[in-house]
Amino acid sequence: MLASILTAFFYAASGICGRRSAVAFGSLRGNSLRLGLAILILAVVTRGAAGLEWSSESTRRLLWSGAVGFGLGDVALFLAYTRLGARLTLLLNLCSAPVFGALGDWLLLGVGVSGPQVLSTAMILAGVSFAVGSHGGAGGIFLPKPKLFTGVIFALLAGLGQGGGASLSRFAHAAMRVEEHMVPPVQQALVRMLPGLLFTLVLWGAAVSYRSIRRVSVETPMGSYPRRWWWLLGAAMFGPVLGVSCFQWALIQAPALVVLSITATTPILIMPLSAIIDHDRAGKLAILGSFVGVAGVILMVWVTGR
């Protein structure tokens, strides 16, 4: 469970850095630079693809995992952000991902879930929903119906991408056990990010081409400051490098439902960071929801570790 908890912490730090780098560089450009920088760091750390069999079944499954998780998931998440806002998007994404992950584990691996695990998941998701739903800011609920409908669809697709990507990673781990060659989690993160970067670059190129044809100004940074590269480095290190590596490590040890339920507490962990960095204070109801979510994590650790 340590790997899952570390993933949530790293994702929370990445969320703070990622928001600032998106403001500084623009969302699509910032995401492309973030993934490119993360791939460079991982390639140096792992000495590239040394010892990796690109023709193996496990590597192919990891590439599919990256295409679904970083490709479908990230693109749908970006489209949902523009329609629902960050708060409601994260709520739908993180609460649906464990459901899709559990379904994927059942379809691909035949792994079921126990009653106590379902109860723990319900507590975690209820706590996250309460904490994020009661937090200040526009939740995007009073949007026009067409925008609300498409935003919900994209947010759920993002959850499908995250949950499906996690299940495909575990599917790849099953192939590694058959091949008797377990790829290190850091190298798994590198392989998964390659199709994700390709998806992001294609989307960025399409957006630039569309704006050029329509003669719309290309997305430009909303501000420039000397430390923006440090925020980009933080977003790359905490998210794709450390966060995804711990995420792959966690998926080796536990079912997708367990891992995704614990990482769903990321918005709760963002709150104290936002209070320190952005002076964004959470209310009493948000703190109460956080306690419920943390209690669910403790219960999940206890029932899974027995």
Q: What is the DSSP string of the chain?
A: -HHHHHHHHHHHHHHHHHHHHHHHH-HHHHHHHHHHHHHHHHHHHTTTTTT--TTSHHHHHHHHHHIIIIIIIHHHHHHHHHHH-HHHHHHHHHHHHHHHHHHHHHHHH-----HHHHHHHHHHHHHHHHHHHHSSS--STTS-HHHHHHHHHHHHHHHHHHHHHHHHHHHHHHHHHHHT----HHHHHHHHHHHHHHHHHHHHHHHHHHHHHTTPPPP--S---TTHHHHHHHHHIIIIIIIHHHHHHHHHHS-HHHHHHHHTTHHHHHHHHHHHHT-----HHHHHHHHHHHHHHHHHHHHHH-
Report the C-alpha gap between 48 and 191 in whole angstroms: 10
Closest by CA to 264, choosing from 187, 168, 159, is 159
Closest by CA to 11, choosing from 182, 195, 162, 191, is 162
Q: Look at the chain and report how many structural domains it folds into.
A: 1
Determine the pLDDT at residue 142. Answer: 46
Report the C-alpha gap between 74 and 130 in whole angstroms: 24
Determine the pLDDT at residue 57. Answer: 93
Determine the pLDDT at residue 111. Answer: 82
Domain that holds residue 243: 2-305
Determine the pLDDT at residue 208. Answer: 77
Determine the pLDDT at residue 244. Answer: 92
Here the tokens at position 235 are: 């977003």
Report the C-alpha gap between 80 and 77 in whole angstroms: 5
Determine the pLDDT at residue 214. Answer: 62
**Do residues 87 and 15 lie in contact, with contact meaning Cβ atoms separated by under 8 Å?**
no
pTM reported for the whole predicted model: 0.81
Determine the pLDDT at residue 227. Answer: 67
pLDDT of the chain, 306 residues: tens digit per residue: 789 889 988 988 887 787 777 667 776 777 788 888 999 998 888 876 666 788 899 999 999 999 999 888 877 887 787 677 666 777 788 888 888 998 999 999 988 777 787 888 888 888 877 766 665 544 434 455 667 788 888 889 989 999 999 999 999 999 999 998 888 899 999 999 999 888 888 887 887 777 776 655 544 554 455 567 888 898 889 988 999 999 999 999 888 888 888 888 887 777 777 667 666 666 677 777 777 877 887 777 677 665
CA dihedral of 45, 242, 258, 100, whole degrees rounded to 10: -90
